Amino acid sequence: MTRLTGSALRVTVHIGENDSWHHKPLYTEIVHRAHAAGLAGASVFRGIEGFGASSLIHTSRLLSLSEDLPVAVVIVDTEARVREFLPQLDELVTEGLVTLDECEVIRYVGRDAAPDRTPDKPGMEG
């Protein structure tokens, strides 16, 4: 399990929901590559409205424009590991925006590492 606390980098990839890589969603490829690279974690967030370099507004409020909503893929890890992953993003992201932000990890705990919070059942001895 990856341990991560203290100084880190957050990379955010802003792309469109319909962007693809070899006939599958681009955000899926980014997440799978981040996982394969052993990065601490990656999450995909779907926007309800936005525009990018094309200046075309995409919104979930209008059926005709809701086909390519904005998506953000957020990855956090140490600076070295994130910077090592950047060449893969250069290969994958042909349209969109990639940003880096310094951040501080306060707590990073996986489910399997969390203490058992199930209350003791009557009659069960530890």
**pLDDT tens profile 79-125:** 999 999 999 999 999 999 999 999 999 988 887 754 555 555 455 44
**What distance in Å separates the CA atoms of residue 29 and residue 49, rounded to the nearest whole number?**
23
Predicted local distance difference test score (pLDDT) of residue 53: 80
pTM of the full structure: 0.80
Burial class (CB in 10 A: 0-12, 13-18, 19+), 94: exposed
